[in-house]
Amino acid sequence: MNVSWQWNLSRSVRRWVSLGLVLATCHGCASVPNPDPRDPLESFNRGVFTFNEGLDQAVFKPVATVYRDVTPRLVRAGVGNFLGNLDDAWSSVNSMLQGKLRHAMGNFFRFGVNSTIGIFGVFDVASEMQIQRHAEDFGQTLGRWGVGSGAYLVLPLFGPSTVRDAVALPVDSNGDLISHMDSIATRNGLRVLNVIDTRAGLLGVSSALDEVALDKYSFSRDAFLQRRRNAVYDGDPPEMDSVTDPVR
């Protein structure tokens, strides 16, 4: 029986995700000493987080490290630019949906210039022209439209998310230009490359996290939720009710 490798790949991905969910549910039986109001699913999330960490240590981190060590910096930059260019197209659509016309035009211009002069996005000509990227995704669009982020949720494989962003995920993958490519081999190849490139970019951050985080789950949750809120408000979030300082 000649089953293609692409079918095997998606089958094994589904198997990992199911395994992750099973493990997480087992963890979910325990209760948490300090419940955080933003994280009502903490037991479940901690389970998935541990599973993801294990998978990361076993697979993603070593592969990304080899990729970073073996590939010349220029090639990695080119790969990053190419993948970033594909994101810029979707960012442009989302900026438009959020009514941020200047950002939408900027992102669209970036996509246009980089795809043509930048040869399919490999060269980031637009950044040389001082046209900044404004990354947007459908989760941020929903946030802008007033949808609250909902409970913190750690997804198997995908990592930190929220209920809102998890719901937005199918829309994001539909909007991703990679999904609209004809060949299954190209699609999966690009997806794998995307994962490796992203992970390689985060190698410095993850090792720093190992050093400075007392509780990696807590740190990554708080950092993720703050960054997400920051992204929805484009770096200018409104003041949150802060805990009063005991010293004052």
Partner 1 sequence: MRFEALERFAMQRRLFQNLTTCLIAAAAMLGPLSTSAADEPPDAVIQRLSNSVLDNIRSDKSLKAGDLSHVIALVDSKIMPNVNFRRMTASAIGPTWRQATPEQQARLQEEFKILLVRIYAGALAQVSDQTILIKPLRSAPDDKEVLVRTEVRGRGDPIQLDYRLEKTPGEGGGWKIYNLNVLGVWLVETYRSQFAREINNSGIDGLIKVLSERNKANVAKG
CB of 55 to partner 1, least distance (A): 23
| Residue placing its CB nearer to partner 1 in the complex, 145 or 219 | 219
| Residue placing its CB nearer to partner 1 in the complex, 31 or 242 | 242
Task: Determine the 3-state secondary structure of 247 from DSSP.
Answer: coil
Which residues, other chains included, contact 21 with Cβ-Cβ below 8 Å and sequence gap of 6+? 48, 156
Question: Which tokens sit at 242?
Answer: 């802060």
* Nearest alpha-carbon partner for 165 in 220, 222, 229, 80: 229
Query: What is the spatial distance between Cα 41 and Cα 35, in angstroms, rounded to a whole number?
Result: 9
Residues that bind partner 1 (CB under 8 A): 33-34, 36, 132-133, 204, 208, 211-215, 218-219, 222-223, 226-227, 229-231, 235, 242-243, 245-247
Which residues on adjacent β-strands are paired with residue 160? 154
| Residue placing its CB nearer to partner 1 in the complex, 182 or 210 | 210
Task: Determine the 3-state secondary structure of 181 from DSSP.
Answer: coil
| Residue placing its CB nearer to partner 1 in the complex, 182 or 245 | 245
| Residue placing its CB nearer to partner 1 in the complex, 33 or 146 | 33
Task: Determine the 3-state secondary structure of 160 from DSSP.
Answer: strand
Which residues, other chains included, contact 2 with Cβ-Cβ below 8 Å and sequence gap of 6+? none
| Residue placing its CB nearer to partner 1 in the complex, 169 or 225 | 225
Query: What is the spatial distance between Cα 65 and Cα 8, in angstroms, rounded to a whole number?
Result: 25
Are the CB atoms for 157 and 20 separated by under 8 Å?
Answer: yes
